[in-house]
Amino acid sequence: PSRLVRYLLNQQTRQATLVMSYTDPANTFATVGGSTQYYTNGHSVVTFGPAGRVVEVDPAGNLAWEITGVSGIYVFRVQRIQSLYFPGRNDPTR
């Protein structure tokens, strides 16, 4: 299945350390495309391209929310629109 991975890069030593890995329990396969986005609150959003699935997970890999049932719809990228959030309330960047 397709998955999200995050690495911490040390440019001095040229080493990468795995920080987080998330494999969708639905065994979702994205043959092409898709994206990930990391937020400062530690959450990550993952889109699975042609699988039409979007999930947000916390740093421990727990599901925060998901969008399903859009099979056949290619979802390449999801972007948060900051102006839709009130400062300090439901702010995804905190």
Distances, alpha carbon 6 to alpha carbons 10, 19, 72, 82, 85, in Å: 13, 5, 28, 23, 26
pTM of the model: 0.75
At 34 the pLDDT is 85
- What pLDDT, in 10s, does the model give residues 14-69? 999 999 999 988 788 888 888 888 888 889 999 888 888 899 999 998 999 998 76
